[in-house]
Amino acid sequence: MFTLNINGKDVASNTDKPLLRFLRDDLKITSAKDGCSEGACGTCTILVDGKAVKACVQKVSKFVGKRVLTIEGLSDREKEVYEYCFGEAGAVQCGFCIPGMVICAKALLDVNSNPTKLDVKKAIRGNICRCTGYKKIEEAILMAAKYFRDNLQIPAPVGKLKMNQKFKRVDVDEKVNGTGIFVDDIELPGMIYAKTVRSKYPRAIINKIDISKAEAHPDCVKILLAKDVPNNIIGHIKQDWDVMIPEGGTTRYIGDSLALVATYHKDKLDEVCKLVDVEYTELEPITSPEDALRADAPLIHSDGNIMSRSILQRGNADEAIKNSKYVVTRKYKTPFQEHGFMEPECAIAAPEGEDGILLYSGSQSVYDEQREISNMIKIPKEKVHCHSQLVGGGFGGKEDMSVQHLAALMAWYTKKPVKVKFSRQESLDYHVKRHAMEMEFTTACDGNGYLTAMKGVIIADTGAYASLGGPVLQRACTHAAGPYNYQNIDILGMSVYTNNVVAGGISWFWCNTKLFCY
């Protein structure tokens, strides 16, 4: 038995678990977020005897006899000031990191009421923000310091908004004080937990999947295989993505699911998944578009390794280049890029009505979820009811199915609420990335430097499945010439299947290089 003082009250834990799990699971204190479980991101930051500490890596026993404070334990005045200042500075976007930032701000301002910008930078250096950036957060903390220091009154809220007025986000308060509901903050009665056993190899034949030992585990609720999926193929635009790879099938990347396992307790999921025995015949993977385009390359999909083509032509580029004084040809490469949103993917599905599904997710498109889940289960779209909770960052990386369809499938079978959540490592390993691209551009101009023509080839690595590879390729081709006035242009684009991680969408506002994004 471990007794702790949290937000001024003594509470007890029977087990020596990570403090974050005790806060969230036992005490239902959800302002402390689980962004990484590795002490890296700072979304779980709490105050321990006045010092900012990350709650995910240390166990309950470390905090016996100490005073622990979360956002819920702040005074009304503190909450009021932080809510106003973060809103006024525009320091809140997705909000997933903000409670941790506020805790770091309090740790600083409790001992230094007149900090410099450098002091603020040091105070939040252990906390990551992927949406707002740090400038506005720093400004919010400096503003809060002034309000506390000078005992300033919070201005009355604006009652009427005019075109030239600044107005704070409607969801600022709940995101600052930690009461906003992200999917992982939801708990439904009787909820079970699920995850998939995924392929060890990017390309391998699945000879056999033995689930007998896993099914015998006392905490196992249900295990589903490809044969249990009414329609085993999904896809955001092109229907080419296997829900699970069947026996006799060939995997296309290490994220391919082989078996969907459900348990009564989430801490038993990995234990049961390890009991699923899979026999493989490992094959040589195709890891580059160049290899995928070879005449003797094995087909990743039956319709070939070229997922899509895009051609953009205007005028006569070849003739213009031939008649130009200066011609330059260059090759460029961009790698896969991780979106790095702070909230790992999470979804909760529950049975609703007769054969219906209620889904809570943090995705970027509830209508795509509805369409793909209804297609997978083969039920009318009207029977799939999707709720988007607060989204802890997305940037295009949460447009595809990742955990949503898995939660829905298990809920449909078991008639129980089901939560499926990626760990940070699973998110890094399996969710879609920004496309890696290889580009060759020939640019020509006349003697005065006026551009005369451009010719280009863009090869995009779309990974194992199509996802948004078609629209991304189209955007890359249409924006390849940038904002310049070309009357002669010839762009060829190809999006190519490989055995790499799937490439998906990426948002315009976030991408540092805005040339090739969706």
Helix (H, G, I), strand (E, B) or coil at 211: coil
* Type of residue found at 30: T
Instruction: State both tokens at 374.
Output: 């209804």
Question: Residue 159's pLDDT is what?
Answer: 78
Question: Residue 510's pLDDT is what?
Answer: 40
Secondary structure string (H, E, C) spanning 286-344: CCCHHHHCCCCCCCCCCCCCEEEEEEEEECCHHHHHHCCCEEEEEEEEECCECCCCCCC
Question: Residue 315's pLDDT is what?
Answer: 97
Q: Which residue has the tokens 């999904």?
A: 234
Question: Residue 160's pLDDT is what?
Answer: 80
Contacts of 76 (CB under 8 A, 6+ apart): none
Question: Residue 511's pLDDT is what?
Answer: 42
DSSP for 49-91, written as a single string:
TTEEEESSSSBGGGGTTSEEE-GGGS-HHHHHHHHHHHHHTT-
- By CB neighbour count within 10 A (0-12 exposed, 13-18 middle, 19+ buried), where does 164 fall? exposed
State phi, psi for 360 to the nearest 5 degrees.
Answer: -110, 125
Superfamily of domain covering 2-73:
Beta-grasp domain (3.10.20.30)
Domain 192-282+341-430 and domain 289-337+433-515 have a common topology: yes
Question: Residue 507's pLDDT is what?
Answer: 62
Contacts of 121 (CB under 8 A, 6+ apart): 134, 138
Instruction: State both tokens at 385.
Output: 């009811």
Domain boundaries, the chain: 2-73, 76-180, 192-282+341-430, 289-337+433-515
Give the span between the Cα atoms of 420 and 193, in whole angstroms: 6
Question: Residue 308's pLDDT is what?
Answer: 97
Does the domain at residues 192-282+341-430 carry the CATH identifier 3.30.365.10?
A: yes
C-beta of residue 495 within 8 angstroms of C-beta of residue 470: yes
Give the span between the Cα atoms of 431 and 426, in whole angstroms: 8
Give the span between the Cα atoms of 82 and 84, in whole angstroms: 5
Class (C level, CATH) for 289-337+433-515: alpha beta
Which of 22, 69, 63 lies closest to 50, judged by CA?
69
Question: Residue 85's pLDDT is what?
Answer: 98
Q: Count the Cβ atoms, other than its own, within 10 Å of residue 155.
A: 8
Give the span between the Cα atoms of 339 and 196, in whole angstroms: 22
Superfamily of domain covering 76-180:
[2Fe-2S]-binding domain (1.10.150.120)
Q: Per-residue confidence of the chain (518 residues) as pLDDT tens digits?
A: 899 999 999 999 999 999 999 999 999 999 999 999 999 999 999 999 999 999 999 999 999 999 999 999 999 999 999 999 999 999 999 999 999 999 999 999 999 999 999 999 999 999 999 998 899 999 999 999 999 999 999 999 877 878 888 888 999 999 999 999 999 999 999 999 999 999 999 999 999 999 999 999 999 999 999 999 999 999 989 999 999 999 999 999 999 999 999 999 999 999 999 999 999 999 999 999 999 999 999 999 999 999 999 999 999 999 999 999 999 999 999 999 999 999 999 999 999 998 999 999 999 989 999 999 999 999 999 999 999 999 999 999 999 999 999 999 999 999 999 999 999 999 999 999 999 999 999 999 999 999 999 999 999 999 999 999 999 999 999 999 999 999 999 999 999 999 999 999 876 444 433 333 33
Beta strands in 409-450 (DSSP E): 418-421, 436-445
